[in-house]
Amino acid sequence: MNTAEIADLQKQFLIPTYAPQLALVKGSGTKVWDADGKEYLDFLAGIAVLNVGHCHPNVVKAVQDQAATLMHVSNLYYNEKQPQLAKALAEKAGGGKCFFCNSGAEANEGLIKLARLWGSDKGKFEVVTMKNSFHGRTLATLTATGQDKVQKGFYPLPEGFAYAEFNNLESVKTAITEKTAAVLVEAVQGEGGIIPADSEFIAGLRTLCDEKNILLLFDEVQAGIGRTGKWFGFQNYDVQPDAFSLAKALGNGFPIGAVVASPEVADTFQPGNHATTFGGTPLACAAALAVLETIEQENLLENAKAMGTLLLEKLQVIADQYDWIECARGTGLMVGLVLNDSALPLQKKLQEKGLLTLATAVRVLRILPPLNVTVEDVEKAVALIEDACSELDSL
């Protein structure tokens, strides 16, 4: 089928929660092709999902081998891949235990439930989150998300959430009450506009949570699995959370999410407290293990740091040329180009030229290439951005 045929079929039979413009049918590394044969350089990576690129042979082989062996047994039984993956994540996180699920929203639901159960005998149930954050689209996680636009139309929202200003410790202090069980924060606000947390803010949160005897939780759905040049975004701040969530890049396109909790908190969940039918299947865990092994074998954490620095430097040069571009910002390969106005025209112009990015927070162009992106890829992307900016500036 060509793009028009796919679009017509989707219009007839899919609920219109998205408004896609492209029909992508094939991917390899940093490249994708649409149904009409056009090639694109993918600097969105499934919105920070494809951290080892499209169809990496290690992940493909792991999925193929496991699919031919055992796909699903339910969590009523052991499966050998699940504890292996939990061990690998715990070692990278500095200890802890895991609960596996299927998505970022489900992982963040798990964090919220964990915090409430942990605080239940103390009369604590509220979770403080940050304005401009994003934590998911379920009723609890969209309430945790500090943005009115995702909450509109879904009232009444669940109780038990309060909001503070990101990078403002005094605002968090004001939001905490005797009913507060946890503070939930992103190391880098992704959907909120690629805004890294300040070191003093994160250190202050850890101290504050310790003083108040409440949990510090991190949403690592987008920043995790190497995106910022560390396994997890919080590791850029030399703090240890009480628990954190993972999803997106953990399976490199295969749906899997996780809650990773410290030893002191993990056993709050006991049999019957929380569950999921498809969480941590042998197939999902095999994919995730292959992702972790590939990042290690190919030294992709270091590559994310190096390519992120190169990309930021080159984007800042572009930003300095135009008064309608404020700056480039980000951490590792979680990068944003901040404009004075809507970023959507630039996103569309780049798509026409064969570069995939995403406008977010109205005026930020979100740039999230795979961690194995090369210098040549970065230079090609920057050249396309330069051309697009020049064309837009002349309008």
- As annotated, the binding site for N(2)-acetyl-L-ornithine includes 137, 276
Tokens linked to 173: 């202090």
Q: How many Cβ atoms sit within 10 Å of the Cβ of residue 390?
A: 12
Task: Transcribe 55-115 into DSSP letters.
Answer: T-HHHHHHHHHHHTT-----TTS--THHHHHHHHHHHHHTS-EEEEESSHHHHHHHHHHHH
Type and span of the H or E element at 244: strand 243-246
In whole angstroms, how far apart are CA 348 and each of 26, 34, 359, 390, 392?
Answer: 21, 15, 9, 14, 11
Of the candidates 77, 75, 217, the residue with the CA atom closest to the CA atom of residue 133: 217
β-strand partners of 368: none
Spatial contact of 364 and 336, defined as CB atoms under 8 Å apart: yes
Instruction: Give the three-state DSSP class for 268.
Output: coil
Q: Cα 221 vs. chain centroid, distance in angstroms?
A: 4
What's the rounded Cα separation, in Å, for the pair 294 and 282?
Answer: 18
Q: Which residues sit in the known binding site for pyridoxal 5'-phosphate? A: 104-105, 134, 219-222, 277
- List residues forming the annotated binding site: 104-105, 134, 137, 219-222, 276-277
Residue in 97, 94, 90 with CA at minimum distance from that of residue 261: 97
3-state secondary structure of 359: strand
- Residue by residue, DSSP assigns 333-354 as TEEEEEESS-SHHHHHHHHHHT
Distance CA 247, CA 49 (A): 8
Half-sphere exposure of 113 (CA within 13 A, CB side): 17
Q: Let me know: does 335 contact 7? Beta carbons within 8 Å.
A: no
Residue 281: count of CB within 10 angstroms of its CB: 25
* Residue 221 falls in which region: left (phi positive, over 0), alpha (psi -120 to 50) or beta: alpha
